[in-house]
Structure 1
Amino acid sequence: MSMHVFTYGSLMFSPVWERVVRGSYEAEPAVLSGHVRHAILGETYPGMIASPGSEVAGMLYRGVSDADVAALDAFEGVEYRRVAVQVAAGGRPVEAQTYLYLMPDRLSADPWVPERFEMARFLGTYCVDKLGS
């Protein structure tokens, strides 16, 4: 059974996404209400937590296979928990899965800004074993 996955950090970027999953998926911009995304202290990637009145822009991948969801779960690790959410994509509500950050004490007060994502640093740190695959 496939599912839609909402990403809001490093996985929004195809060079990261393509190193984690095997399949090819339709992707489109989406927004999740009631949540906020912050930088994680000392890291290049963000964490997202519930926050009424806030919203997070990200990317929705449609029809992600069970095998690739398992790969995403492994990639996100113990600092995140996958949960069901409803995002807005193309002006319509869509049921999706996303990853909430479980260590809010490690979040910076600063928002995480996608335009400042340090792609090369992230890939060199977290995707080294996937570069040749």
Structure 2
Amino acid sequence: MTPPTACFTYGSLMCDDIFRAVTGQSCPAEPARLNGYRRHPVRGEDYPGIRPAGDSSVDGVLYHLRDATALARLDAFEGAQYQREAVEALTRDGITIIAWAFIFHPAHAHRLAPGDWDAEHFMRHNKAHFLRRHFPTDRSDM
């Protein structure tokens, strides 16, 4: 199998400015859905984690990566509490695309809070805090 050249994002990385800050590049993006997973808040953090959940689905953004550099930078950003796995993301046009996704590592599952992570709440109330915490330098382009 050819390694995926896309990445399904479902949390802070859905924001193009955050994605660019992490990867160092702008990539074509489109809305997508990941079936069979559920998104939870991570205790004490502004971002979520996903875990397998057969009857659930997660809406997110599918980025078409330009090169392996973006993926290496995503690996470094996500860290040990996530594991990168190939998944089947479904575009709005109904096309299935094999993509990388960062799944919350089972060893850290105790950090996932019950309930769903709210993307709109993140945008309105937590994004600024997230940016200050993870990108403390000048963010004039964000």
If the TM-score is normalised by the length of the shorter chain, which range does it land in?
over 0.9
Distance 1:127 1:26 in 2: 22
Distance 2:50 2:4 in 1: 23
Q: After superposition, what is the alpha-carbon deviation per residue over 1:97-129, rounded to whole angstroms, capped at 9, x for unaligned?
A: 000011110111121010011110000111225
* Alpha-carbon distance change, 32 to 123 in structure 1, aligned in 2, over 3 angstroms: same
Distance 1:4 1:73 in 2: 14
Unaligned runs of 5+ in 1: none
Answering whether residue 67 of structure 2 is matched by residue 51 of structure 1, we say no
* Alpha-carbon distance change, 2 to 101 in structure 1, aligned in 2, over 3 angstroms: closer
Of 98, 112, 124, 2:132 maps to 124
Aligned partner of 2:84 in structure 1 is 82
Of 92, 105, 120, 2:95 maps to 92
Secondary structure, aligned partner of 1:119? helix
Give TM-score, length-normalised by structure 1.
Answer: 0.93
Give TM-score, length-normalised by structure 2.
Answer: 0.87
Unaligned runs of 5+ in 2: none
Deviating runs (4+, > 6 A) in structure 1?
none
- 1:19–1:131 Cα contact (<8 Å) kept: no
Aligned partner of 1:31 in structure 2 is 33
Secondary structure, aligned partner of 1:70? helix
Secondary structure, aligned partner of 1:104? helix
Paired-residue identity, %: 36
In structure 2, give the amino acid aligned to 1:9.
G
Of 24, 40, 43, 2:42 maps to 40
Aligned partner of 1:101 in structure 2 is 104
Aligned partner of 1:114 in structure 2 is 119
* Structure 1 residue 23, shift from structure 2 partner: 2.3
- 1:2–1:66 Cα contact (<8 Å) kept: no
Please give the root-mean-square deviation of Cα atoms over the aligned residues, in Å: 1.8
